[in-house]
Amino acid sequence: MNANPESLSSNDCELQLRADGSLRHLLTLKGLDKALIIELLDDAESYLSPDGTLPVRSDALAGRTIGNLFFEPSTRTRASFDLAGRRLGADVLNLDVNTSSRKKGESILDTIYTLEAMAVDIMVVRDAGAGVPAYIARNVKEFVSVLNAGEADVSHPTQGLLDLLTIRQHRPDFENLVVAIVGDIQHSRVARSAAHGLQTLGVGELRLVSPPAMAPVDAELSFARTVSTLDDGLRDADVVMALRIQRERIDDLDGIPSVGEYFADFGISEDRMRHAKPDAIVMHPGPMNRGIEIDGSLADGWRSVITQQVTNGVAVRMAVLAHVARAMQK
């Protein structure tokens, strides 16, 4: 990792804004203005057909070049950004990590400077290192934007936005909402970004439901309620979001000796959903481990909004790309 550790202590939220308050980079939802979040959700909605599917394209990014730098493997997020960019008319350059210069020992900044010199306008970055997107954002030229596509356990802001949009489509009244996020909260960038967005939109109650060994340790999530049993966590919830579990973590976990036991204790199923509101919806960021963190029939059933999350992901990324491109020099 070449990320400067001091980058972690700085204010990523301020860093991502232009002087006029618009978004130049998207690094985190933490501290992002409520009006700006709502603007992005509204923009994303404008890329959806009335029936919620993805409509025709635009040329908002014609002549622009997007570089997809995925230093961690990804299918869905990479494909989502790729399609979002192309449907706005951009050229999308997918850099193959396996054959990348980083293998040859090049520093991440030199890779970035190279892309800048090739006139890449927007860099979409996924990295296992905390602070990498902000570190890059601090070092690019003024006409370049950086979008965080997944950063260690820290942040996954476009995932957060698509989760907010999906919830808003079904339960627009955030103040009266009970949202339960279930799984390995401690290691989840998905949970963190959803939590920050929900906090800003004034969610009624947020519950973070996990075995004690996976409970949040960050003070930043202290506005949420930590719950250690699933039935308590689901009680009267409007929205239930299951997180993908890393199978390899289960083995190491005190009190969760097997995948089967994890499902018994924290797996979401129609049966367990009887504790939630009768019409509660179910979310998952994908890819799913069916039968581990979520029952397959629940994932495919009437409560599930999981495929709508995927559709919204493309729309949200189109909105973010178009937003940051709007202020770029011609």
Question: Exposed/middle/buried for 153, CB within 10 Å: 0-12, 13-18, 19+?
Answer: middle
Applying CB under 8 A, among 13, 36, 93, 213 the residue interacting with its own copies is 93
Site membership for its own copies, residue 290 (CB under 8 A): yes
* Residue 34: CB minimum distance to its own copies, A: 28
112, 139 in Cβ contact below 8 A? yes
Applying CB under 8 A, among 50, 103, 172, 217 the residue interacting with its own copies is 103
Query: Per-residue x/- mask for its own copies, residues 224 to 263, rule CB under 8 A?
Result: -----------------------x----------------
Applying CB under 8 A, among 117, 175, 219, 222 the residue interacting with its own copies is 117
Site membership for its own copies, residue 87 (CB under 8 A): yes
Site membership for its own copies, residue 314 (CB under 8 A): yes
* Residue 102: CB minimum distance to its own copies, A: 8
Quote the distance between the C-alpha of residue 61 and its chain's center.
22
Q: Which two tokens stand for residue 169?
A: 């489509």
**Cβ distance to its own copies smaller for residue 31 or 286:** 286
> In the sheet that 65-70 helps form, which strands lie side by side, from edge to edge?
91-95, 65-70, 122-127, 145-151
Listed ranges 163-171, 197-205, 272-280, 306-314: which one lies at the site for its own copies (CB under 8 A): 306-314
Applying CB under 8 A, among 33, 42, 59, 110 the residue interacting with its own copies is 110
**Cβ distance to its own copies smaller for residue 36 or 54:** 54
**Cβ distance to its own copies smaller for residue 11 or 307:** 307
Q: Which two tokens stand for residue 215?
A: 């409970």
Q: Which three-class secondary structure state does DSSP give residue 213?
A: helix
**Cβ distance to its own copies smaller for residue 234 or 299:** 299
Site membership for its own copies, residue 166 (CB under 8 A): no
243, 195 in Cβ contact below 8 A? no
Per residue, what are the HEC states of 260-324? HHHHHHHCECCCHHHHCCCCCEEECCCCCCECCCECHHHHHCCCECHHHHHHHHHHHHHHHHHHH
DSSP percent split of the chain into helix, strand, coil, nearest 5: 45, 15, 40
Site membership for its own copies, residue 83 (CB under 8 A): yes
* Residue 72: CB minimum distance to its own copies, A: 9
**Cis, bond preceding 55 (omega within 30 deg of 0):** no
**Cβ distance to its own copies smaller for residue 143 or 223:** 143
**Distance from C-alpha of 134 to C-alpha of 26, rounded to nearest angstrom:** 9
Q: Which two tokens stand for residue 317?
A: 């990324």
Site membership for its own copies, residue 95 (CB under 8 A): yes
Question: Exposed/middle/buried for 240, CB within 10 Å: 0-12, 13-18, 19+?
Answer: buried
Which residues inside 119-158 make contact with its own copies, applying CB under 8 A?
Answer: 119
221, 179 in Cβ contact below 8 A? no
Site membership for its own copies, residue 297 (CB under 8 A): no
**Cβ distance to its own copies smaller for residue 253 or 310:** 310
Could you list the residues that contact its own copies (CB under 8 A)? 53-54, 56-57, 63, 65, 70, 73-76, 78-80, 82-83, 86-87, 91, 93, 95-101, 103-107, 110-111, 113-119, 247, 286-290, 306-311, 313-314
